[in-house]
Chains A and B, each alone.
Chain A
Amino acid sequence: MNLESTLRVKRDAGKKLLVPYVTGGLGAAWLDVVRAVALAGADAIEIGIPFSDPVMDGRTIQEASQRALDIGATPAGIAADLSRLDIDVPLVVMTYYNPVQHAGHERFAAQLVAGGVDAAIVPDLPLDELDGWGDAADAAGIETVLLAGPTTGDERLQRICERTRGFLYGVALMGVTGERDHLAGQAKVMGQRCKAATDKPVLLGLGISTPAQAAEAADAADGVIVGSALVRRLLEGGGPEEAGAFVASLRAGLDADSVSG
């Protein structure tokens, strides 16, 4: 089953979806972190392939990316690491377009396939510039997830919904990744707009930092993506255990909420 089918089945069974983000190559134990996140109830896992100039990322993920690069993380190395994983959770890489085009579309897609990756998010490759990569990814069976933002108009949202694969990434705030004290006002509106526009799974991401925020956001969509709040724990020295515990708390928040209605 591909990513979209997997997410659909779970959603249709009444489950709220949880997709945590882990920076690839961040420390020797990073694959153990991924395993722990999977065990703690992730429905899919986003793996960041670090880029030197991550303009969609706030401080936390910038720092994690830099640390990973400093200790030698590369796209090929991360893909090779991932191929050693023995988990049953779909993987979605998130990176920027320069490393993708630098490797070459076909070669990059083939690396992901070899790493057992299901899908890719490339936030600086909008709909209008998608063609080369989009076609190569489709051909290789890599699902390219598109983002829709609070500023995206209805007509464009429709086109994004049609072209996205795997799920639709609803950008839950105006800004870059990073923890926030409160869920942005735009988050719910975004969730509702996206849900009204497509039957594909809709996940909200950006600024969702706590179990309560995750549950609140998931009310308006099919689920959430949580990045900086997890990565900060890793930067502060947390290992697989702490990552697993945090993801389990997010899982519990989402499950309690979907049970209570």
Chain B
Amino acid sequence: MSAPVRGDEVRLGPPGPPPQARGRFGEFGGRFVPETLIPALEELEAEFRTAWTSPEFRSEFAGLLSGYAGRPTPVTECRRLSEILGVRVLLKREDLTHTGSHKINNVLGQALLTRRMGKQRVIAETGAGQHGVATATAAALFGLECIVFMGAVDVERQALNVFRMELLGAKVIPVNSGSATLKDAINDALRDWVASVETTHYCIGSVVGPHPYPWIVREFQRVVGDEAREQCRGMLGGKDPDYVVACVGGGSNAIGTFAGFLDTDARLVGVEAAGLGLESGKHGASMSRGVPGVLHGARSLFLQDEDGQILEAHSISAGLDYPGVGPEHAALAASGRATYASADDEEALSGFQLLSRSEGIVPALEPAHALGWLQREAGNSVPLGSTVLVTLSGRGDKDAMQVAERLTGEPLE
């Protein structure tokens, strides 16, 4: 098969494996939700099982990904950055999709499922606002009512995305409870859903939540990795990159990327937010510092105290500011197939500027963590001369204001 090129039709790869019985990825996953939600999750699972093997569904999804979202996205060879870092850097350009991040892939799939289930209302949580914007976009496209829950802290730091969602016809509900960030937005979305489940689809934005969400979202995101693998092989004379790197909040862009490379020899690296530093206790590194627990419907790794109370995460990037991670990542770490590292706020800011100046591409702060990690590790744990694919999960417009304030110490006029 020839490598996908922008302007082509999207050709979906074959479906990936479902989780094991009871929605498990190894010892992680599952369905830990109030009884009221169980029938809806069973319905969603059944609907997805049928849809995902149905040629009509797959061709409609593929059509939306190409005709609406602008896929396939290219893989860009970063000549100047490669020279600076001494490793060959390839970027999978999810920043070039409609709405500016990989989130649109998942949302279009879930919007199709919503329509199949005959539901008229969607709810979503959002951190950085990218998933909220993507959901609001799909809701506008499909004529669905859309409510987005967003932590009050994030409403503040991602004001542009709040306006975008409203422009798209969605209602944004600020969430003040707890840390007023992504975790709390998910709590309130679940609370809404317990009341509205008969008419409403909960469009979860990452590979988190109760079964079947981690599976569904991975499958809707695997197009990232499936495309990138073929594109890399086209560029690398049939070879795979040595490293495949993506940032990890809940883990959807990473799992979508990894899905395409699981059967290759590439080393898979997920990069979490180290915030103010792993030792500071103010970070979002649930893979390195979390312990097994159950939150938001799944067993996975979570930051928590000695009594099992969930801790607040911290990151400069709203999209990585989450004290947990998707269960399949926990399983990939346990099996050793993927490894997880972290980059702190400063390293992310550095990656943010480095890519902007060297390649003319302003990354979102989330994937800037993956770039910051690479900047630190190139020539260290990543040998010079390696080939590294980094998923650029989104573009940085949403973060420009915040970074400007951070760098100049003053608010932008």
Contact = CB atoms under 8 A, between A and B. Distances in A.
Interface stretch (A94-102, A224-232, A241-249): A94-102
Interface string B146-185: 0000000000000000000000000000000110000110
Interface residues of A, number: 43
A55 B38 contact: no
Interface stretch (B186-194, B237-245, B274-282): B186-194
Contacts, number: 119
A99 B30 CA distance: 17
Interface stretch (A2-10, A37-45, A123-131): A123-131
A26 interface: no
B295 interface: yes
Interface centre among A52, A148, A156 (most CB of B within 10 A): A52
Contacts of A174: 36, 194-198
A171 interface: yes
B307 A74 contact: yes
B34 A98 contact: no
Contacts of A56: 34, 191, 194
B307 A175 contact: no
- Residue of A99, A123, A124, A127 contacting most chain B CB atoms (<10 Å): A124
Interface in A146-195: 146-153, 156, 160, 171, 173-176
Given A99-B308, A176-B195, A129 B30 contact: yes
B413 interface: no
Contacts of A21: none
A128 B307 contact: no
A151 B304 contact: no
Contacts of B22: 128-129
A103 interface: yes
B293 A55 contact: no
Contact of A152 (B35, B184, B291): B35
B178 A53 contact: yes
B30 A98 contact: no
A103 B37 CA distance: 26
A153 B39 contact: yes
Contacts of B291: 102
B309 A152 contact: no
B308 A123 contact: no
A126 B293 contact: no
A152 to B, nearest CB: 6
A239 interface: no
A98 B310 contact: yes
B188 to A, nearest CB: 9
A124 B298 CA distance: 10
Nearest to B307: A74
Nearest to A122: B32
A148 B195 contact: no
B35 A148 contact: yes
Interface of B: 22, 30-40, 177-178, 183-184, 187, 190-191, 194-198, 291-297, 302, 304, 307-310
Given A69-B309, A97-B32, A98-B293, 17 more contacts: A51-B308, A56-B194, A98-B302, A102-B293, A103-B307, A124-B33, A126-B32, A126-B35, A126-B38, A127-B35, A151-B40, A151-B197, A151-B198, A152-B35, A171-B34, A171-B36, A174-B195
Nearest first, the 3 closest Cβ-Cβ pairs linking A and B are: A102-B308, A149-B36, A175-B195
Interface of A: 51-58, 62, 66, 69, 74-76, 97-103, 123-129, 146-153, 156, 160, 171, 173-176
19 contacts: A53-B178, A53-B183, A55-B187, A69-B309, A98-B295, A98-B310, A101-B293, A103-B308, A124-B294, A126-B31, A126-B34, A129-B22, A129-B30, A149-B38, A151-B40, A171-B35, A175-B191, A176-B191, A176-B195
